[in-house]
Amino acid sequence: MIELFFAALGALFSVVNPLGAVPIFLAMTPHYTMAERNTTARSTGIYFVLILLLFFFAGTYILGFFGINLSAMRLAGGMMIVSSGYGLLSGKFEENRAINDKVAAEALEKQDISFAPLAMPLLSGPGSISYLITQFNEHDTWHERAAIAMVIVVLGFIVYLILRSAPYLYRLLGEAGLKALSRIMGFIVMSLGVQFIIEGGIKLAKTFMAH
């Protein structure tokens, strides 16, 4: 259980990459007071947890409603994760998470940016959602699923702490340091995506051969 918890936490942290969100969070909150930033960080963490818990527990049923095969979703999710990892490696984290100039400009005018664009699509996106749906199906006992649900809650708290500490982290690591960490995360994320694609392809092939 402990191994599952830390394995899932490491994989999900890499896919979400909350450290990569630090410069974007600061750019979207230039006129916020420290109290306002803390409130936004807390709300973002809560929304992040709720979104991922929803897809973790209901994702399989959503796939079933649309008639999507789990192996096909794993393949598509693997491609998204590889794309996300490539975005981290190439320094295009914002573009890969659908954060363009228009979205950033709208965020500056909004009173509350914690749900959109911070919690979604910046932090919880197709990569993390497909990973969690796959984990739900691979671990069919409820104590294993509870462990992964706890990973989501813990990561939500980590997201809150990182965003709350964003000004200090930015001063400590700087733009170069954050990008270097993102590139390391990118390599891990791409490896995870390739693994998803291989496993999805094998299971999809077995499904067709069985018929």
SS (H, E, C) the chain: CHHHHHHHHHHHHHHHCHHHHHHHHHHHCCCCCHHHHHHHHHHHHHHHHHHHHHHHHHHHHHHHHCCCCHHHHHHHHHHHHHHHHHHHHCCCHHHHCCCCHHHHHHHHHCCCCHHHHHHHHHHCCHHHHHHHHHHHHHCCCHHHHHHHHHHHHHHHHHHHHHHHCHHHHHHHHHHHHHHHHHHHHHHHHHHHHHHHHHHHHHHHHHHHHHC
Instruction: Please give the model's pTM, rounded to 2 decimal places.
Output: 0.88
Question: What is the mean predicted confidence (pLDDT) over 87-109?
Answer: 66
Question: What is the mean predicted confidence (pLDDT) over 200-207?
Answer: 80
pLDDT-based confidence at residue 107 (cuts at 50, 70, 90): low
pLDDT digits (tens, 9 = 90+) for 8-26: 999 999 999 999 899 889 9
pLDDT at site 100: 62
Question: Length of the chain, please?
Answer: 211
Q: Residue ranges of the domains in the chain?
A: 2-15+34-210
pLDDT digits (tens, 9 = 90+) for 134-192: 999 889 899 999 999 999 999 999 999 999 999 999 999 888 888 888 888 888 888 98
pLDDT at site 43: 97
pLDDT at 121 over 80: yes
Q: Which residue has the higher pLDDT, 20 or 94?
A: 20
pLDDT at site 80: 84
pLDDT at 124 over 90: yes
